[in-house]
Structure 1
C-alpha cells in the first residue's frame, strides 16, 4: 500500500513537470541545465538571501569548497555571461532541476525539485506582464482554478528607507513587522526612529496596501512619496494594466508589503497561491542587476515553482498532453490588445507563441510562422508565402491547413 502511494505521488510529480515544461515551450522557452556542484565563492560573493549555513558543502580533490546547487538563477546567469560574447537582445530558458538546502527541520528533504523560467530581456511592463501571465497559465494547467498572483515591487521598500539611517537590525525588524502585516506594532517601532513624517505615514500604510489593484492604487494617490517611489508605482500600475489585457483581473492581488525574498530582485516581484494550500507554490521577480556582478548588463525576470508543493496541493486532477509549433506575433503599439488575444488563443490550442512589439523589420528565424499586426493590415508569413487575414478564424484555418489541428487528450 505504501509503495503504491509512493508510485502515485511519483507519477503525479512527473505529470506536473511534463505539464509545466510543455506550457513553458508555448511561450518560446528552451530547456537548459546547470551543474549540480558549484563553487562556494559563486554564492558567497553575490548578493543573495540564501543563508550560507543552509548550503550543502563538499570538498573536491584539490581542496576547493563546492556547494550542491542551492539556486538556479545565479549559476545560469553566470553561465550565460561566460558563454555569450555578444548577447542577443533576449533569451528565454526554462529548467527542471533539484536545489539543495539544509532546512534543519525534521522530515524536511534537503533536495527539492524546481521548475522555472528565466527571461533575459530589457525591463518593460510588457515583458513583466507576459511572465506573470505565464505563471498563472502554468498553475491553471496543473489543474487549479482558484489561482492568486500577489504582485509587489522589490524597490518600493528599498526606496522608502533609502534616506533613513537604519541599522541592519532595525531594517530586519521593520521588514518582519511589514511582512507579518503587524499594523499595531509598526507605529510604535517607527516612533522610536528619526523619520520624516511623510515617509513614516507610507511605511505605516504598507500592510494596508494589499488587495484589489484599483483599491491599492487609489490609496496610493493619497500618500506623499518621493519621485523614485512614484516611478515604481507608475511602472507597477502600467504592468497591471497589461496583465488586465490578458484577462487575469480576477487572479491578481497587489501587495506593496511584499518584501524582496531574494537579494538579487530589484523590480516587480510576485508569488502564486492555489486553493487549499497555505503557502506560495510559485515565486519570482525581476533581477536587472545580478549579471553586472559578472561584468555584463543582462536584465531578466523569472520565477520558480516548487514541484513538491504542487504535488501536495493537487487533488485528483487529470493533466493535459500538449503539442506545439512555433509562431511569433509582431504588433504595433495600437494593436497590442489584439496581439495578446491572438497569442492567448493560439497557446490555448498548444502552439508555441512569442509576442513582441514591432520595431523595424519583423524577423523571427526560429519561428515557422510570423504574424504582423499593422495599423491597417494583418499578415501571416511562413517560408513559402505571406498572406493577409481578416480575423482569428481565417488565421487559424491558414495554419491548420498545413499543420493539422493539435490533439488534446484528457
Structure 2
C-alpha cells in the first residue's frame, strides 16, 4: 500500500492547489471505505421546497424547463443523495458510505462571492452511535492533516441541546431566531436583557445565560455544567458528546477537539451531533457537518446518517500564499532506458492495477521533479533500482519490486 507521505512543495498556483486538494480528498475518503457518488446538476424545485428543514429558498437558482416545470441548480448534495437512496429502499438494511466532489449553486448576496462552489463531502448512512460519529470526525481531522494544516480545531456540539431549551419556552418564531442568533454569536451581554422580557423560570434563564461560556476543552466544559439545572435529555446529550470525545482520544485526536454547547448549524435538518472545523489564520469554518437521522422522514422513510462537507475554494484560500504541504501528487515515477520500454510498460500497468498513480518517462525526455513522487524507479539494461527516502534499493524483477513496495523498504 502507498504510504501516507507529506512533503513541502514549491509555491503553487490556486489552480494547482485546487487540483491537489481534490486528489488528496479522494484518497483520504477512499481510505475510510467511501465510494464516490454523483447527483444531477438540476433537481426539481419541489424536492427542496417541500423539505421544511432545507436551505433558504431565496438562495436557490431557479430555471424552467421546456415543459414549464421549475428546476433548481443543485444547492445541496445531502438531500438529493438521500432521495436517490430512498428510491431503492425505505429503510436502512446495511451501512452505506458515499463521498462526492461536485458543484453546488446558491444565490450570492455579496458581490465578492461566487454562485458556483465546489463542495466535497461524505455521507455515512448508519444508526447513531458514538463510534460511528467519532469515526466521521476522525476522518475530518485526518483530511485536514493530509492537506498540511497543523493548527486544526473541531468544534463539537449537538443540535438537540438548543432544541431542548427552547421547545417549552413561550417564544414566537421571531424570538426563537433572535435567541438562536445571540447564542450562536456568544453574545453574553445581550442575552440577559433579552431574557428579562420573557416569562421563564430563573433556572432556565440561568442555563441559557451560561451557554456562551460552555465552550472549550470537553472535560472542562462538562465540569462547568455542574450545578446547572439541565434537563434529563440535555444531560444525556452531554454524556453522548463525552462518549464521542473519549473515542476520539483513542484516535489520538483529543488535542484538536473543543466542545461548544452553543453550536448551532444553519442546516436545519441536523438533529444530533454537529461539528465544524477551523484551520490556522482562516476566520470561518472550512468544514461543517452533523447527524441528520430525521431527514429521511421528510420522504416517508427511515435513513439515519451523518456527514460533513467542505468547500474547495475555502481550502485554497486557507492555504494562502504559504508553501503547501500535501500528499504527493504522484505515487511512482518510472524512468527507463529505451531498451527497457517493455519492462516499464509492464511495471506501470501492474502498479496502476494496484491503485498506484504512475508517470513513466524515457530517460531522454523531460521529467517531473523527483520530490513530486513517493517512489522513483529507474530501469536500465544492467540495473533496476527503487529510490525511496534517499535510499536506492536494487531489484531484479516485478515480483521483487512489489515485495519492496508493500513493506520491504522498512
Classify the TM-score, shorter chain: 0.7 to 0.9
Secondary structure of the structure 2 residue equivalent to 1:38: strand
- Cα 1:85–1:253, aligned 2, differ >3 Å: closer, same or farther? closer
Show the counterpart of 1:200. Answer: 205
Please say if residues 323 and 406 of structure 1, whose CA atoms lie closer than 8 Å, have aligned partners that are also in contact. no
Contact persistence 2:90–2:302 (CA under 8 A): no
Judge conservation of contact 1:209–1:257 (CA < 8 Å) in 2. Answer: yes
Secondary structure, in 3 states, of the residue corresponding to 1:63? coil
| Alpha-carbon distance in 2 for matches of 1:407, 1:69 | 47
CA RMSD of aligned residues (A): 2.3
Task: Give secondary structure in 2 for the equivalent of 1:104.
Answer: coil
8 A contact 2:92–2:126 mirrored in 1:
no
Q: Residue in 2 aligned with 1:317?
A: 324
TM-score by length of 2: 0.77
The alignment status of 1:245 with 2:250, answered yes or no, reads yes
Report the counterpart of residue 223 of structure 2 in structure 1.
218
1:132 equivalent to 2:137? Answer yes
Looking at structure 2, the residues matched to 406 and 13 of structure 1 have their Cα atoms a distance apart, in angstroms, of: 34
Q: Is the 8 A contact 2:90 2:301 kept in 1?
A: no
Match status 1:404 vs 2:409: no
From 153, 158, 177, the equivalent of 1:153 is 158
Pick aligned residue for 2:30 from 25, 37, 43: 25
1:86/1:232 CA distance change after superposition, 3 Å: closer
Q: Give me the whole-angstrom Cα distance separating, in 2, the residues matched to 1:81 and 1:406.
A: 47
| 1:107 CA drift (Å) | 2.7
Q: Secondary structure at the match of 1:188?
A: helix
Q: CA deviation at 1:237?
A: 1.1
User: Which deviations, in whole Å up to 9, do the C-alpha atoms of 1:53-97 show, x marking residues without a partner?
Assistant: 110000001101000000000010000111346743200000001
Equivalent residue, structure 2, for 1:75: 80
Change in CA separation of 1:303 and 1:200 when aligned onto 2, cut-off 3 Å: same
**CA displacement, residues 210-238 of structure 1 (integer Å, 9 cap, x when unaligned):** 01111100011221111111111111111
Distance 1:260 1:198 in 2: 25
Helix, strand or coil for the counterpart of 1:253?
strand
Q: Which runs of 5+ in 1 are unaligned?
A: 1-6, 325-349, 352-399
Corresponding residue of 2:123? 118
Paired with 1:403 and 1:222, the residues of 2 have a C-alpha distance of 58
1:229 aligns with 2:234: yes
Query: Which runs of structure 2 are paired with 1:218-297 in the superposition (5 Å)?
Result: 218-297=223-302
Distance 1:129 1:279 in 2: 22
Q: Is the 8 A contact 2:170 2:198 kept in 1?
A: no
2:90–2:303: 8 Å Cα contact kept in structure 1?
A: no
1:180 deviation in Å? 1.2
Instruction: Provide TM-score, normalisation by structure 1.
Output: 0.77
Stretches of structure 2 lacking an aligned partner (at least 5 in a row): 1-11, 332-354, 357-401
Residue aligning to 1:88: 93
Distance 2:240 2:307 in 1: 17
What is the alpha-carbon distance in structure 2 between the residues aligned to residue 407 and residue 228 of structure 1?
53
CA contact (8 A) 1:322 1:407 kept: no
CA deviation string 1:97-125 (max 9, x = no partner): 10000112113110000110000000000
1:191 Cα deviation (Å)?
1.0
In the TM superposition, what whole-angstrom CA distance separates every residue of 1:343-380 from its partner, at most 9, and x where no partner exists? Answer: xxxxxxx99xxxxxxxxxxxxxxxxxxxxxxxxxxxxx
The 3-state SS of whatever aligns with 2:13 is: helix
Number of aligned residue pairs:
330
Counterparts in 2 of 1:293 and 1:282: CA distance versus 1, 3 Å: same
Secondary structure of 2:119 counterpart: strand
Contact 1:129–1:243 (8 Å) recurs in 2: yes
Q: Is the CA contact 1:323–1:407 (under 8 Å) kept in the aligned structure 2?
A: no
Instruction: Quickly say closer, same or farther: Cα 1:278–1:85, change in 2 above 3 A.
Output: closer
CA apart distance, 1:402: 10
| Conservation of the 8 A alpha-carbon contact between 2:62 and 2:71 | yes
Matched residue of 2:326: which SS? coil
Contact 1:22–1:322, Cα closer than 8 Å, also in 2? no
For the pair 1:179 / 2:181, whether they are aligned, the reply is no
Larger Rg: 2
Partner of 1:390: none
